[in-house]
Amino acid sequence: MQPNTLLDALLDEAGFSHAGLAARVNQAGRARGLSLRYEHTAVARWLKGQRPRGQVPDLICEVLAERLRRALTLGDIGLGVDGGAAIEAGSPLTGFVERATALWRSDEQQRRHIIEAPAVTGTPAVMPVWEWENPPEDADVSRSGQTRVSPADIITLRAARAHYELMYRKAGGMATRARIVGFLNVETAPLLRGSYNDALGRQLHRAAGGLVAVAGICAYDSDAHGLAQRYFHQALRLAKASNDRGLGAYVIALLVNQALFLGEYRQAVAFAEAALRAAGGEITPALASDLQVMQAKAYARLGDHAAALRCIQRAEQEAARIQPRSEPDETGYVQPGLINVQAAEALLSLGDLNAAHDHAATAVGAPAHDRGRVHRLAMLCQVELRRGEADRAALTAAEMAEQARGMESQRLRDRLRAVREQLVVSDSTQAKEAAELIDGALRMPL
């Protein structure tokens, strides 16, 4: 029995206490000739996942719909035949908003069944991408709600996305996640449930999609992979509602990156192809280069040397066309050197150590944000160790450990541990000293 997060979120939105909802359900029942005597304890059981009998689900739906001044179905309140567990990405827009905002509330409440859920595989993982790529499109995203949305609200959401992305880059996803999820609940959810016409609604869904994508990145960085995947699927649905193919392709790039981490290499290739195909002319050189080089990493892991090299070449060609001022805010992560460090990882998997070293050194020599620099140094260190240059790798590792201090990121911890494991087996005294520096960094709250 899973907690009814949809009902919990609607109860909060309606401003009902447990006792208040029980009293109103009893009153609605009397209008139908029923003698009901529910109390707050019954509502607590419903929220824990118990389904009330008879006409009571319809009465709950009626009471909440009247209070919120919008139509609700049993599925919307988590009391449908599927328990309200439909995939967010494939839902009609109204139902999607209810499910999405319920997830944000559950995440903020740190519900374990949400945070600890594993990433889905197979059809549930693929369907949101298929839904994004294929018709039907949303003909009209306008909505009537209690909060009137204005252009100023869109500006606020865009500014918040930039703020939290910068925080993530400097402090890591573990430190940023609670803050951005709180913003989604307090500021974004009322706007999505608010009142707006179609044109403004497209802008709203685009701005919200960018924010939700960053929330997914923070969940991914915190090792909450099932939660991250749900945020990415939500962001993809919001991108579809916004009619911005470029945003959708960016979200798929995040899914590709997660698939690589989870070892789903064929899925990574397929998702990247879908983004490149469906976004068409709306995809920018920065995003195209990132998708191509991630495909190279996947092909390298699959042992397809020729395909990996082809993708690296295409990524380099796209990277040469990047004009930062023409790129959307979301692709700002594709900084100089990013394609090089990704290519270095692919080449390292293929055993081409000299080419991997050239790319890794180029990446370290290019400017990067704090988090990105740690990953670049880690990649260079691993290549140097594979080349037998233990003393040089020790110097690189020492710089990496110092750069990582103060960042709360599970992915950075993974990189540091991987480098440390390679350093400790070296015969180099400097390498062992560098491993001790990494130990010190790992003992601190990264």
Beta carbons of 209 and 246 less than 8 angstroms apart: no
Distance CA 128, CA 391 (A): 47
Whether 90 has a pLDDT exceeding 60, the answer reads no
Whether 255 has a pLDDT exceeding 50, the answer reads yes
**Mean pLDDT taken over the chain:** 91
Whether 275 has a pLDDT exceeding 90, the answer reads yes
pLDDT at position 15 is 86
pLDDT at position 292 is 98
Whether 89 has a pLDDT exceeding 80, the answer reads no
Segment 352-363 mean pLDDT: 97
Domain borders along the chain are 5-85, 245-364
Distance CA 217, CA 93 (A): 23
Segment 302-307 mean pLDDT: 97
In angstroms, the Cα distances linking 198 to 99, 141, 426 are 21, 5, 62
Model confidence at 338, pLDDT cuts 50, 70, 90, reads very high
Q: Token pair for residue 314?
A: 């295409």
Distance CA 106, CA 109 (A): 5
Segment 391-404 mean pLDDT: 93
Whether 270 has a pLDDT exceeding 80, the answer reads yes
What is the 3-class SS of the chain, one letter each residue? CCCCHHHHHHHHHHCCCHHHHHHHHHHHHHHCCCCCCCCHHHHHHHHCCCCCCCCHHHHHHHHHHHHHCCCCCCCCCCCCCCCCCCCHHHCCHHHHHHHHHHHHHHHHCCCHHHHCCCCCCCHHHHHHHHHHHCCCCCCCCCECCCCECCHHHHHHHHHHHHHHHHHHHHHCHHHHHHHHHHHHHHHHHHHHCCEECHHHHHHHHHHHHHHHHHHHHHHHHCCCHHHHHHHHHHHHHHHHHHCCHHHHHHHHHHHHHHHHHCCCHHHHHHHHHHHHHHHHHHCCHHHHHHHHHHHHHHHHHCCCHHHHHHHHHHHHHHHCCCCHHHCCHHHHHCCCCHHHHHHHHHHHHHCCHHHHHHHHHHHHHCCCCHHHHHHHHHHHHHHHHHCCCHHHHHHHHHHHHHHHCCCCCHHHHHHHHHHHHHHHCCCCHHHHHHHHHHHHHHHCCC
pLDDT at position 81 is 65
Provide the greatest CA pair distance for the chain.
Answer: 84
Model confidence at 442, pLDDT cuts 50, 70, 90, reads confident
Beta carbons of 331 and 284 less than 8 angstroms apart: yes
| CATH superfamily for domain 245-364 | Tetratricopeptide repeat domain (1.25.40.10)
Whether 249 has a pLDDT exceeding 90, the answer reads yes
Model confidence at 444, pLDDT cuts 50, 70, 90, reads low
Which tens digits make up the pLDDT trace of 26-71? Answer: 888 888 888 888 888 988 898 888 888 888 888 898 888 888 877 7
Model confidence at 426, pLDDT cuts 50, 70, 90, reads confident
Q: Token pair for residue 104?
A: 């944000």
pTM (2 d.p.): 0.85
Percent of the chain at pLDDT exceeding 70:
97
Whether 146 has a pLDDT exceeding 90, the answer reads no
Distance CA 40, CA 45 (A): 9
- Backbone phi and psi for residue 72, each to the nearest 5 degrees, phi listed first: -135, 145
Beta carbons of 22 and 40 less than 8 angstroms apart: yes
Distance CA 245, CA 388 (A): 45
